Amino acid sequence: MFIGSYEHTIDVKGRMAVPSRFRDKLGERMYVTRWLDKCLALFPADQFEDLAAKVSSLSIGDPNARNLRRIFFSEAAEVTPDKQGRINIPARLRQFAGVSADDAQVAVVGMNNFVEIWAMETWNEVQEEAEQNVDTMAAALANIGAI
């Protein structure tokens, strides 16, 4: 399970240290791709493959499904951590997420079965918006019997 959030830097070469608490769970082979809300998602290989199968099962007759497949697969990259636990995030993905500046600050956020990578400024905005919607989130938790 991936939980918690960590502040990291993506260096000028596009390398980011994966939080040590996430490294073992992510394994030696992982995938990074565009994700929802202008962030990146980092998946362990098995989770990515499960999601890829579900995306692939969508009808190519549906234009939204085709677009999802195009974005999901064309922007995905297999990454392997180096000896220091860093991964290299491709430039096109860094640009998409707004972390293309040298030594960009990012939030690395656990999402249970995968990890999100956010530009720090965007993450702060998302957090502020979430704080404004606490009642809506509480209602959603109540609907699933969690509270």
Q: Kindly report the pTM of this predicted structure.
A: 0.92
* Ranges of each domain in the chain: 5-119
**Can you list the positions of beta strands (E) in 23-114?**
30-34, 40-44, 77-79, 86-88, 104-110
Kindly state the tokens that stand for 66.
Answer: 């085709």
In the sheet that 15-17 helps form, which strands lie side by side, from edge to edge? Answer: 77-79, 30-34, 40-44, 115-119, 104-110, 5-10, 15-17, 86-88
Higher pLDDT, 138 or 122: 122
Q: What is the mean pLDDT of the chain?
A: 94
Residue 14's alpha-carbon distances to 6, 24, 105, 121, in angstroms, are 17, 21, 12, 18
Evaluate whether the domain defined by 5-119 bears CATH number 3.40.640.10: no
Identify the band that residue 147 occupies on the pLDDT scale cut at 50, 70 and 90. Answer: confident
The pLDDT tens digits for 17-67 are 999 999 999 999 999 999 999 999 999 999 999 999 999 999 999 999 999
Report phi then psi at 72, rounded to 5: -60, -50
CA proximity to 74, closest of 113, 117, 102, 34 = 34
